[in-house]
Structure 1
Amino acid sequence: MTPAARLQAVIELLTDIDDITRPADAVMSAYFRNRRYIGSKDRTNIAQTTYAILRRHARLGWWIERTGHRPTPRARTLAYALLEERRNAGVVLEMFSGGKFAPERLSEKELALVGALDTHTLDHPEMPEAVRVECPDWAEAPIRATLGDRFTVEMEKLLDAAPLDLRINPLKANQASAIKALAKAQIVAETTQWSPFGLRVKGRPPLGGVDAFKDGLVEIQDEGSQLVALAVAPKPGHQVVDFCAGAGGKTLAIAAMMKNKGRVVACDVLAGRLKRAAERFRRAGLHNIEAHPLTSERDPWVKRHKRKFDRVLVDAPCSGTGTWRRNPDSRWRPLGPGLAELVPLQANILDSAARLVKPGGRLIYATCSLLFDENEGQIAAFLETHPDFTVKPVAEVWAEEGFGAVPCEGPYLRLTPARHDTDGFFAAVLDRKAEEPVESAETDEAAVDEAVETSDAETV
Structure 2
Amino acid sequence: MQRIAPKATRSTGENRARLAAVQQLMRIDEEGAYVGLVGGSPTRTQPHARKRDPQAPLDSRDARFVTELVFGVTRWRRRLDWLISQLRPTGGTLDPELLQILRLGIFELLELGKPDWAINSHVDLAKELVRPEAGRLVNGVLRNLTRMRTANAIPRPKLEQGFSQRQQADVFGIASSHPSWLVERWLQRFGEADTLKLLASNNRRPVYSLRVNTMKVDIGALEQELQESGVEVERSPYLSGEYLRVKSGLQDVLAQGLLSDGLCQVQDESAGMVVSLLDPQPGERVLDACAAPGGKALFAAARMRGEGQLMAMDANARRLRGLPATAAQQGVPAGFLTIGAADLRESLPEQHAPFDKVLLDVPCSGLGVLAKRADLRWRRQPADILSNAQLQDALLDAAARLVRPGGLLVYSTCSIEPEENDLRVDAFISRHPDFVAEPAPTGLLPDSVLNQNGFMATFPHVHGIDGAFGARIRHRQ
TM-score by length of structure 1 reads 0.84
- Confirm whether residue 25 of structure 1 aligns to residue 67 of structure 2: no
SS at match of 1:241: strand
Structure 1, 309-318 or 4-13: larger mean CA deviation: 4-13
8 Å Cα contact 2:211/2:266 also seen in 1: yes
2:219 corresponds to: 175
Is 1:300 the counterpart of 2:347? The answer is yes
* Distance verdict in 2 for CA 1:91–1:171, change over 3 Å: closer
Selected match of 2:24 from 10, 13, 18 = 13
Note closer, same or farther for the CA distance 1:409–1:199 as it changes in structure 2 (3 Å cut): same
How many angstroms apart in 2 are the aligned matches of 1:244 and 1:122?
47
Contact 2:356 2:407 in 1 (8 A): yes
Question: What residue in structure 1 maps to residue 316 of structure 2?
Answer: 270
Residue type at the aligned position of 1:56: W
Matched, 1:47 2:67: yes
Partner of 1:124: 156
Q: Is the CA contact (8 Å cut-off) linking 1:235 and 1:257 kept in structure 2?
A: yes
Residues 1:313 and 1:84: Cα distance change in structure 2 (over 3 Å): same
Aligned mates of 1:117, 1:100 — CA distance in 2: 20
1:340 is displaced (CA, Å) by 3.3
Where relative contact order (Cα < 8 A, 6+ residues apart) is larger, the structure is 1
Alignment of 1:182-221 (within 5 A): 182-183=226-227, 185-196=229-240, 197-203=242-248, 204-221=250-267
Alpha-carbon distance between aligned partners in 2 of 1:89 and 1:184, rounded to the nearest angstrom: 39
1:366 maps to 412
Secondary structure, aligned partner of 2:259: helix
Q: Evaluate the alpha carbon distance shift between residue 391 and residue 216 of structure 1 in structure 2; reply closer, same or farther with a 3 A threshold.
A: same
Q: Is residue 123 of structure 2 the alignment partner of residue 96 of structure 1?
A: yes
CA distance, structure 1, for counterparts of residue 391 and residue 74 of structure 2: 29
> Does structure 1 retain, via aligned residues, the 8 Å contact 2:344–2:398?
yes
Superposition pairs of residues 4-403 of structure 1, within 5 angstroms: 4-28=15-39, 35-66=55-86, 67=88, 68=91, 70=93, 72-87=99-114, 91-93=118-120, 96-97=123-124, 106-118=134-146, 119-120=148-149, 124-126=156-158, 128-149=171-192, 150-183=194-227, 185-196=229-240, 197-203=242-248, 204-287=250-333, 288-294=336-342, 296-303=343-350, 308-333=354-379, 338-394=384-440, 396=441, 398-399=442-443, 401=444
Aligned counterpart in structure 2 of residue 407 of structure 1, from 420, 438, 449 = 449
Give the direction of change, closer, same or farther, for the CA distance of 1:305–1:299 in structure 2 (3 Å limit).
farther
The alpha-carbon deviation at position 276 of structure 1 amounts to 1.1
Q: CA deviation at 1:198?
A: 0.6
Instruction: Tell me the distance in 2 between the aligned counterparts of 1:87 and 1:187.
Output: 27
Structural RMSD (CA)? 2.9
- Contact kept? 1:414, 1:427, Cα under 8 Å: yes
Q: Is the 8 A contact 1:190 1:199 kept in 2?
A: yes
3-state SS of the aligned residue for 1:25?
coil
1:383 to partner: Cα distance? 1.2
CA contact (8 A) 2:35 2:70 kept: no
Which whole-Å CA distance do the structure 1 matches of 2:257 and 2:18 have between them? 34
Residue in structure 2 matched with residue 444 of structure 1 by the alignment: none
In structure 2, do the counterparts of structure 1 residues 90 and 259 end up closer, same or farther at CA, with 3 Å as the change threshold? closer
Distance 2:345 2:54 in 1: 40
Q: Which amino acid aligns with 1:172?
A: K
Change in Cα spacing, 1:47 to 1:94, as seen in structure 2 (3 Å) is closer
Farther-moved stretch of structure 1 (71-80 vs 412-421):
71-80
Contact residue 98 and residue 104 of structure 1 kept, 8 A: no
The letter for the 2-side match of 1:369 is S
Q: CA deviation at 1:349?
A: 0.6
- Change in CA separation of 1:228 and 1:110 when aligned onto 2, cut-off 3 Å: same
Local SS of the residue matching 2:410: strand
Matched residue of 2:375: which SS? helix
- Partner amino acid for 1:52? G
Relative to structure 2, which stretch is displaced further, 19-28 or 368-377?
A: 19-28
1:211 deviation in Å? 4.7
One-letter amino acid of the structure 2 residue matched with residue 200 of structure 1: R
Q: How much identity, in percent, do the aligned residues show?
A: 26
Uncovered stretches (5+) of structure 2, i.e. residues with no partner: 1-10, 43-52, 159-169
In 2 relative to 1, CA 81–406 (structure 1 residues): closer, same or farther, beyond 3 Å? closer
Distance, in Å, in 2 between the alignment partners of 1:38 and 1:100 is: 22
Query: 1:12: how far off?
Result: 2.7
Partner SS state of residue 273, structure 1: helix
Residues 7 and 215 of structure 1, relative CA distance in 2, 3 Å threshold: closer
Letter in 1 for 2:141: L
Please give the alpha-carbon distance, in whole angstroms, between the structure 2 residues aligned to 1:87 and 1:102.
Answer: 22
Secondary structure at the counterpart of residue 338 of structure 2: strand
Q: Return the alpha-carbon distance in structure 2 between the equivalents of residues 145 and 297 of structure 1.
A: 35
Compute the displacement of 1:134 (Å): 2.4
1:120-143 Cα distance to aligned partner (Å, 9 max, x none): 466714271122222224433444
Range moving further from structure 2, 191-200 or 101-110: 101-110
Deviation of 1:81 after TM superposition, in Å, equals: 3.1
- State the TM-score, normalizing by the size of structure 2: 0.81
| In 2, Cα distance between equivalents of 1:56 and 1:377 | 32
| CA deviation string 1:253-303 (max 9, x = no partner) | 111111111111101001122221111111111122111111x23233345
Mapped partners of 1:270, 1:236: distance in 2 = 28
Identify the residue that residue 3 of structure 2 maps to in structure 1. Answer: none
Give the Cα separation in 1 of the matches to 2:414 and 2:127.
44
In the other structure, the counterpart of 1:457 is: none
Q: 1:145 to 1:431 in 2, by over 3 A?
A: farther
Q: Which amino acid aligns with 2:217?
A: A
